[in-house]
Structure 1
């Protein structure tokens, strides 16, 4: 089968598109003919092997899995002996560690959900990582409720574009923070207000927000504290690579709970454990029109390295998909 893979860590130049062996499903897995896959910062992390703290899990000197990509949508072609929920011909979406920028992938049954009839493969491919991360951050960790004021920092990116819409669907008043080039996109997602961080900062309204969802991870926690109500919650989803090669944004997330105790503010980290229930909920929300994936670029599998170069150039708006 054709796949985008690499044999060493590095930037997009390590990626090649060529023939690799098609995977065989284990007892608890399904084999899926991939129609679309997603590109995001998580894929970049596994490609580069950074932060280095990841390497005990993905390969110390070289990647354990050559094919890159995690989220996908496609059609089941074979099922393992212990699989009970799916059969060949079923349209599905989900996540896997087996690599998805390929014509075929394998995924555990518990990390796969049925594809709703009115949701495209391209849309569904964006849900497994970015969509579920946003759902957990907003609904479960932030516990957003109707009429609350929610600030989403990094609202124009992959996770942020979902977080804005999910918070709106829960009845919140949402302010999105983004760069000038993404202001129109964030408004189109339903944000009630947009802060262009090149002109003003998030603490312009002190003690204003009930929940702050910080995806960008590049502002001092003290600044977020100033913008938060005393009884509010700061939800930390990630952080910038500039915070260190060993831990990247995790360094900030490790420090945050202790800072929260001193500052007397709730600071919560998002730990994502993907599962079929949350995948299905994201699929339902898209099918119902409550959420629309903000797909801004699509690449064919043959051009997949260019998709990674585009991502690595900066902070692209919305989601990037690979079509197969």
Structure 2
């Protein structure tokens, strides 16, 4: 089968399309013919081994000179081709979607996934739309429903609202009844309004941390403000949730982990809640997302679609061109 393979840390250009053996499902796995896979910030972080501190913090995923798993890509949608002997939930021909986590392997014609991390594809979504959901929409759901605990009338600000997670977060914030303020660049203002945002802050013209507005919750998906600045935008008993962030600048030692580490320490000494969001692939979350999509409450927004052989260009676009919403690979 064809797959995008990586031998060492580096830029997208060192990824190569090559022939590798087709995987065989273990007893608890399903073999999926991948029809589409999403590109996430996690892909370029692992591809580059950036920040370098992550290589020490997560030795299960990061090797000394390159990632331990050679095939990139974690979010997928496709058709079940075979199932392991212990699998009873699926059979060949089922349309599914899921998140392989940091084991990766979705940028390929076939991938094996644990049956416990695979769910039936939302019936109303295409393969490309379904592949766009697991990591990004799952992060938005866990961040708002479980960490922020959004409630009707709450004033919610989403920093990085036009990104993959952000576009889902805006929709979920409105579903849960919050008054949503979306922070994005000028070209994405109209998109935010179309997704239901009540207010839009153009960060090229205004710094929301110094505008004098106070919010019950700030969902920060960028990591471009200090913890002090984020807290300045909160009410005294508000909540700030930190998730991901950072942009590729050729390599960093700490990257967005610097804000995370500071928040872990100083967050214990402030009145406001400081939550460091950590999510893992979850069948429960995938099932919840499917229900939300089929009910019409959550719709993926896709910026660009690339063929498998152009995965390097897709990752380059995501990490350097301020991609809005999701970038998807069609296989």
TM-score by shorter chain over 0.5? yes
Aligned residue among 277, 282, 292 for 1:275: 282
Match of 2:208 in 1: 202
Q: Distance in 2 between matches of 1:314 and 1:203?
A: 24
Match of 1:299 in 2: 306
Match of 1:57 in 2: 60
Q: Distance in 1 between matches of 2:248 and 2:92?
A: 45
Q: Distance in 2 between matches of 1:319 and 1:10?
A: 23
Aligned residue among 93, 97, 114 for 1:93: 97
Is 1:248 the equivalent of 2:255?
yes
CA RMSD of aligned residues (A): 1.6
On the 8 A contact 1:150/1:210 being kept in 2, the answer is yes
Q: Distance in 2 between matches of 1:253 and 1:303?
A: 33
| 1:144-183 Cα shifts (integer Å, max 9, x gaps) | 1111010000001011111111111111110000111221
Q: Distance in 2 between matches of 1:38 and 1:28?
A: 24
Is 1:76 the equivalent of 2:80?
yes
- Shift of the alpha carbon at 1:323? 0.4
Instruction: Name the stretch that deviates more: 72-81 or 181-190.
Output: 181-190
| 1:73-95 Cα shifts (integer Å, max 9, x gaps) | 00111111221211111110001
On the 8 A contact 1:242/1:248 being kept in 2, the answer is no
Instruction: Name the stretch that deviates more: 141-150 or 180-189.
Output: 180-189
* Equivalent position SS for 2:60: helix
After superposition, the Cα gap between the structure-2 partners of 1:23 and 1:242, relative to the gap in structure 1 and judged at 3 Å, is closer
* Equivalent position SS for 1:299: strand
On the 8 A contact 1:98/1:106 being kept in 2, the answer is no
Match of 2:33 in 1: 33
Match of 1:310 in 2: 317
- Shift of the alpha carbon at 1:205? 4.9
Q: Output aligned runs, 1:118-157, within 5 Å.
A: 118-157=124-163
Question: Which structure 1 segments of 5+ residues have no match?
Answer: none
* Equivalent position SS for 1:219: coil
On the 8 A contact 1:207/1:229 being kept in 2, the answer is no
- Shift of the alpha carbon at 1:113? 0.6
| 1:244-285 Cα shifts (integer Å, max 9, x gaps) | 833321221121133233332111010102211101111221
Q: Distance in 2 between matches of 1:69 and 1:255?
A: 30
- Shift of the alpha carbon at 1:54? 3.5
- Shift of the alpha carbon at 1:53? 3.4
Q: Distance in 2 between matches of 1:314 and 1:265?
A: 34
Instruction: Name the stretch that deviates more: 30-39 or 281-290.
Output: 281-290
* Equivalent position SS for 2:134: helix
| 1:207-243 Cα shifts (integer Å, max 9, x gaps) | 6211100001111211211111111100001232589
Is 1:159 the equivalent of 2:169?
no
Q: Distance in 2 between matches of 1:242 and 1:116?
A: 33
Aligned residue among 285, 307, 310 for 2:292: 285
Using structure 1 for the length normalisation, give the TM-score. 0.95
Using structure 2 for the length normalisation, give the TM-score. 0.94
Q: Distance in 2 between matches of 1:6 and 1:162?
A: 30
Match of 2:270 in 1: 263
* Equivalent position SS for 1:283: helix
Q: Distance in 2 between matches of 1:159 and 1:282?
A: 13
